[in-house]
Amino acid sequence: MKLYEYEAKTILTKYKIPVPQGGIATTSAQAKEVASKLTPPYAVKAQVLVAGRGKAGGILFANTPLEAEIVANKILGMEIKGTKVHSVWVEEKINVKKELYFGITTDRSRRCYVAIASSAGGMDIEEVASTAPEKIVRYFIDPVFGFHTYNARSLAKKLGYAGSQMQDLANIFCQLYTAAMDYDAELMEMNPLVETAEGRFAAADARLIIDDNALFRHSEYKERQTAEETELSPQEIKAQKSDLAYVKLNGNIGIIGNGAGLVMATLDAVQLYGGRPANFLDAGGGASPEQMAAALDIVLSDPNVGVVFINILGGITRCDDVAKGILEAKQRVGFTKPIVIRLVGTNEEEGRRMLTAQGIHVLNSMEEAAAEAVEIAKTRGGSN
């Protein structure tokens, strides 16, 4: 789960990492009020979860509270990469001498956390990583021993700092590591971490992505996630409520499967036969009848869908449960569109029997079923 900048900065403050003084505003009048309590000039920043807001005009500067009100008005109601801006963070603009980068994330192949630091922080850090990799320094953190001040000092030294600046920076690095661990961060970064003209350091921007699987340890954010459902499409809201992984795509063939790999391979197969998938929907390893019914409901309610292709290979999912779900959905919402079903695996005989008894045709091969779905989509079209 991605956190907003202001949420991440609130956490940094809790861990005594310096951030510019600021406050949150949902109206331009509020922005003015926040600014009047701060020292000018100000930075007014759109609070959105998509990256690249700076380049999209989501960060503006102001010299007076009135100007802050005007620019806040511009930003509020703006759309950045499809997301509406509902709030702005107004903060004291820092006097930047140099932009650094520091972040903590996981390293898959080493199976550990890694601290990443660079003296070339800012908007183009990803480009730096590919064009000037020597400007990025890493420390792989032993899970047993953790990240110590001497590790942090060594990173600060490699960024070119000595004396008290090196110590200050090392403290910030250590604090960020502690915060990242406490909040189950998939990624926690300060970019830029700014060296000010006075030689101090402050996190001008902060990003925190909490591991979704650890949200049960951070209930305060889990609640907010549900509160923000208004941002999502009706299909996405439903998917989230039913614990289904759903991604909307541009085609007209609705896809339901179990297991991310199989669903991805199903999309690939449909494309290979000349069809276009309308979505990705993974009903999960242990899909219950209720989840199956919810999945069908979601896909059928997408107006772009002309045909639904259900591809189930039962392992932990039992085919009789899947059949139960399909029949439940049929009863509840009716089959408003043609459905192609491929069902094999655990308890497949029972699942097949249940569906065939209701006159539903079940196929054996994924490729055969994909081809059939593409054929139906061609003749029926759908609205796309």
Supply the residues annotated as catalytic.
Answer: 101, 189
Angle, alpha carbons 309-311-315 (nearest 5°): 160
309 touches 370 (CB < 8 A): yes
**Locus of tokens 């299909």:** 235
Please state the closest distance from residue 356 (CB atom) to other proteins, in A. 20
Q: Which is nearer to other proteins, 186 or 195 (CB)?
A: 186
Which SS3 state, helix, strand or coil, does residue 153 take? helix
Which SS3 state, helix, strand or coil, does residue 263 take? helix
Please state the closest distance from residue 14 (CB atom) to other proteins, in A. 19
Could you list the residues that contact other proteins (CB under 8 A)? 106, 108-109, 111-113, 126, 142-144, 181, 184, 186, 211-214, 216-217, 245, 247, 249, 257-265, 267-269, 271-272, 277, 280, 282, 284-286, 313-316, 344-346, 348, 365-367
Nearest partner of 262 among 301, 328, 316, 212, judged by Cα: 316
Q: Which is nearer to other proteins, 22 or 122 (CB)?
A: 122
Alpha carbon 359 to its chain's center: 41
- Tell me the one-letter amino acid at 88: V
Please state the closest distance from residue 321 (CB atom) to other proteins, in A. 11
Q: Which is nearer to other proteins, 109 or 164 (CB)?
A: 109
What are the start-end ranges of the E strands in the chain?
A: 22-25, 42-46, 59-62, 79-80, 83-84, 88-92, 96-107, 112-118, 136-141, 185-196, 201-203, 206-210, 245-248, 253-257, 279-282, 307-314, 339-345, 362-363
Q: Which is nearer to other proteins, 42 or 113 (CB)?
A: 113
Alpha carbon 296 to its chain's center: 24
Q: Which is nearer to other proteins, 90 or 208 (CB)?
A: 208
Please state the closest distance from residue 122 (CB atom) to other proteins, in A. 18
Please state the closest distance from residue 197 (CB atom) to other proteins, in A. 34
Q: Which is nearer to other proteins, 15 or 140 (CB)?
A: 140
Q: Which is nearer to other proteins, 70 or 237 (CB)?
A: 237
DSSP class of residue 337? S
User: Backbone phi, then psi, for 119, in 5-degree steps?
Assistant: -90, 0
Cα separation, 370 vs 382, whole angstroms: 17
Torsion of CA 119, 125, 130, 133, to 10 degrees: 10
| C-alpha distances out from residue 207 to 5, 42, 147, 185, 227, Å | 6, 20, 20, 10, 20
Cα separation, 106 vs 115, whole angstroms: 9
Please state the closest distance from residue 269 (CB atom) to other proteins, in A. 6
Please state the closest distance from residue 288 (CB atom) to other proteins, in A. 10
281 touches 255 (CB < 8 A): yes
